[in-house]
Amino acid sequence: MKLTKDIKESYDELVHKVSWPTQKQLINSSVLVLIASIIIAVFIWAVDKIFELLMQFIYGL
C-alpha cells in the first residue's frame, strides 16, 4: 500500500503545492532559452571556424 500512498501524496503536491507558471511566463522563459541557445551555438561555431583556419594556416606552412 506504500505505492498507493506515494501516488496520492505526489498528486496532492502537484495539485496543491506546486506553483505552475502562467502561459506568459512559460513563453518568456522558452524564448529566453531559445535566444541563449542560438547565441551559444553561434559562439561555438565561430570558435570552431577560428580553430579550423588556424589549423589550416599551421599545416599549410
- Concatenating the DSSP letter of every residue in 1-61 gives -HHHHHHHHHHHIIIII--PPPHHHHHHHHHHHHHHHHHHHHHHHHHHHHHHHHHHHHHH-
Instruction: Give 15-22's long-range contacts (Cβ < 8 A, gap of 24+).
Output: none
pLDDT (tens digit per residue) in 11-55? 999 999 999 999 999 999 999 999 999 999 999 999 999 999 999
Dig out the grid coordinates for 6 from the structure: 506515494
Please tell me the pTM assigned to this model: 0.69
